[in-house]
């Protein structure tokens, strides 16, 4: 049976051989150096997501976290001795051309980049085919890293395998996110009242909110974008003397469009109880409803029935009703 070792097969095989050899080398030779360096510098293992083959054993996972701690630590003067020697040797290994293009950063240990890293920075629309083609074009004459080998092959599978094998040393590139442009369109009246609110809040509590002005548009705009609005419910008013005294508003979402709806109820509804309801079971606008159905027909926390009022509540309602009648007669 003939097996063709093409570019993909070669890179996959190369990556696998590297991986197996490197695992043993890292545990036997580099892990003790990383322990020595971190202990001398009082660095704890980094609390990060462990990737690649470093998830395969406790020793490899610890090595990954120790190296990450050293890669994140600012460069500093180290007293001559075992710790300095350990850092020198680790840097020597991680800065090898075999690991990729060394990234110049003021850290104790370097990370590396590659033709794939460069492609990620160049292209705004990321896709497997597009990045593979771009990376292939960016391989330099001095590239000697495993990912560069895969990039030269121009094969996405090979590129993925190689990049995963270099999980510890390779840097992660972040997409340039297009930030939204916020345009201030607040009326003068609203801004004026808001200024008073912000001023009073600061004077009373010391809480400093952004000034309600054009320069703060991005702060308020982003806060609005981040808010989870759908399903928020609030009791607006009470009207006694009918079986559905509690008047609510809530925010509904239909195909991404937010609308406000109202309903009357014999019970007080909250945001929690409304959101616990199936969307198609929430009150229609203008309707009169009872307690929210919670599956077992029990009233949940925050729900109050007009029939379950305490005696003092009833007396307060009677006083409200008496005052209302007095003021109504005087009209």
Give pLDDT, residue 189.
Answer: 66
Element (H, E) at 234: strand 233-238
Predicted confidence at residue 183, as pLDDT, reads 76
Classified as helix, coil or strand, 36 is helix
Q: What is d(CA 176, CA 179) in angstroms, rounded to the nearest whole number?
A: 9
Three-state SS sequence of 153-171: HCCHHHHHHHHHHCCCCEC
The C-alpha atoms of residue 196 and residue 201 are separated, in whole angstroms, by 8
Give the ranges where the chain is alpha helix by DSSP (H). 7-25, 31-40, 58-72, 82-94, 115-122, 128-137, 146-153, 156-165, 188-205, 217-226, 271-275, 311-329
Q: What angle do CA 248, 251, 256 make, to 5 degrees?
A: 165
Give backbone dihedrals phi and psi of 141, rounded to 5 degrees, phi first. -70, -20
What residues contact residue 170 under an 8 Å CB cut-off, 6+ apart? Answer: 100, 111, 112, 113, 114, 117, 147, 163
Q: Name the nearest CA neighbour of 90 among 152, 137, 41.
A: 41
pLDDT at 330: 41
pLDDT at residue number 32 = 96
pLDDT reported for residue 303: 38
pTM, full prediction: 0.54
Hey, what's the torsion of the CAs at 228, 281, 235, 308, to 10 degrees?
-140
Specify the DSSP class assigned to residue 145.
Answer: S
C-alpha to C-alpha distances, 299 to 35, 246, 266, 312, 313, nearest whole angstrom: 58, 16, 12, 21, 19
φ, ψ for residue 285, nearest 5 deg: -60, 135
* Structure tokens that stand for 13 in this block: 């095989």
- Pick from 176, 163, 160: which is nearest to 120 by CA? 176
Q: What does the chain come to in residues?
A: 331
Looking at residue 207, what DSSP letter applies? Answer: -
Q: Give the span between the Cα atoms of 51 and 68, in whole angstroms.
A: 11
Structure confidence at residue 3 (pLDDT): 64
Cβ(51)–Cβ(163) under 8 Å? no
| pLDDT of 31 | 96
Q: What is the pLDDT along the chain (331 residues), one digit of tens a residue?
A: 556 688 878 887 888 788 888 888 899 999 999 999 999 999 999 998 778 788 889 999 999 999 999 999 988 888 888 889 999 999 988 888 888 888 867 889 998 889 888 888 887 767 778 888 999 999 998 888 888 988 888 887 777 767 777 766 666 666 655 666 777 777 676 767 667 776 767 566 766 787 888 788 777 777 776 767 778 788 777 777 889 988 888 888 887 777 778 888 998 888 878 888 888 889 998 899 988 775 544 443 333 433 344 344 444 444 444 334 433 434 4
Residues 34, 63 contacting (CB under 8 angstroms) = yes
């Amino acid at each position: 049976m003939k097996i063709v070792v093409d570019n993909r097969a070669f890179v996959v095989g190369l990556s696998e051989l590297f991986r197996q050899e490197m695992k043993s080398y890292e545990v036997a030779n580099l892990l003790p150096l990383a322990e020595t360096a971190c202990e001398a510098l009082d660095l704890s293992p980094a609390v990060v997501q462990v990737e690649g083959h470093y998830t395969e054993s406790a020793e490899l996972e610890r090595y990954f976290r120790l190296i990450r701690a050293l890669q994140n630590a600012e460069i500093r003067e180290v007293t001559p001795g075992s710790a300095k020697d350990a850092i020198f040797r680790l840097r020597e290994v991680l800065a090898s051309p075999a690991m990729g293009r060394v990234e110049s950063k003021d850290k104790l240990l370097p990370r590396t980049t590659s033709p794939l890293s460069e492609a990620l920075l160049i292209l705004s629309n990321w896709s497997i085919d597009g990045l593979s083609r771009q990376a292939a074009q960016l391989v330099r004459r001095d590239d000697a890293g495993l990912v560069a080998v895969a990039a030269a092959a121009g094969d996405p599978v090979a590129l993925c395998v190689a990049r995963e094998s270099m999980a510890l040393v390779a840097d992660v590139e972040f997409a340039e996110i297009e930030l939204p442009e916020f345009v201030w369109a607040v009326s003068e009246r609203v801004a004026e009242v808001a200024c008073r609110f912000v001023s009073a809040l600061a004077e009373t509590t010391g809480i400093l909110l952004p000034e309600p002005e054009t320069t703060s548009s991005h702060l308020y705009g982003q806060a609005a974008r981040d808010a989870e609005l759908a399903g928020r419910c609030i009791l607006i008013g009470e009207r006694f003397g009918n079986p559905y005294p509690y008047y609510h508003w809530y925010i509904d979402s239909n195909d991404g469009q937010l609308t406000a709806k109202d309903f009357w109820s014999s019970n007080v509804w909250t945001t929690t109880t409304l959101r616990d309801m199936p969307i198609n079971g929430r009150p229609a606008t203008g309707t009169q409803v009872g307690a929210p159905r919670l599956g077992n027909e029990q009233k949940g926390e925050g729900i109050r029935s007009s029939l379950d009022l305490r005696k003092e509540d009833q007396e307060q309602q009677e006083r409200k009703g008496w005052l209302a009648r007095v003021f109504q007669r005087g009209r």
